[in-house]
Amino acid sequence: MKKQYYHATLPEYESYAEKHTTGEPDYLYQLYRETHLKTIYPRMLSGHLQGTFLKMISRILQPERILEIGTFTGYATICLALGLPENGIIHTIDSNPESVEIGRKYFKMAGVEDKIHVHIGNALNIIPDLTETYDLAFIDADKENYLNYYHMVIEKLNKNGVILADNAFWDGKVFQEDTNDKEAIGIKKFNQFVQNDPRVENILLPLRDGLMMIRKI
């Protein structure tokens, strides 16, 4: 199966990093394969390196509540859920029930089925109705709405809570000054706003397609 590389690192660097990263559980590898076989845009899946990073961040933070915007087939959902304490819950939102359905059996295989609360629909409509506050959030949905999601999430994030936002480089399109790509424009607005938001501190990591990590002060 051909691997998708991103511009943030050289392919040989990424391969070396994967060889020196804790191995991928079989159920995540099977989910990776099924995603590539059954979806049109399998590159949307987090994958081994980023998935392991998400899992480690979750296990370090031990969040009681996680909010994920953009479930896709649930690879990142599982990785995040693995860091939840016994009473922890992850609320994950996606508009495509078919892609989410692919991941459900893997939720069970990973032993986190009871910790995952799936919401199907438009996240812009669902988030305002969520009454809980969160220790960790992962944004990986339509890029033109990243800033809208951020405004919604930051209000529901506990102090010292962390937001992780995927595709912060958008395959290098953020470097194009005159782009007409709505997704790239959305990412650029999001990145710039976060950089100047006095409520947070942030670091943009060159992991996969760029991962913005934000802590609420």
Domain that holds residue 163: 11-216
Radius of gyration of the chain from Cα atoms? 16
Total domains, the chain: 1
- Here the CATH number for the domain that contains residue 40 is 3.40.50.150
Reported as a single tens digit per residue, the pLDDT across 8-17 is 778 899 889 9
Q: What's the rounded mean pLDDT across residues 109-134?
A: 97
Residue 170 lies in a domain: yes
Integer Cα distance of 183 and 31 in angstroms = 27
**Residues 173, 132 contacting (CB under 8 angstroms):** no
Reported as a single tens digit per residue, the pLDDT across 172-206 is 999 998 888 999 999 999 999 999 999 999 999 99
pLDDT, position 2: 57
pLDDT, position 9: 77
Residue 1 lies in a domain: no
pLDDT, position 4: 64
The tokens describing 138, both together, are 């992962």
Task: Output the average pLDDT for the chain.
Answer: 95
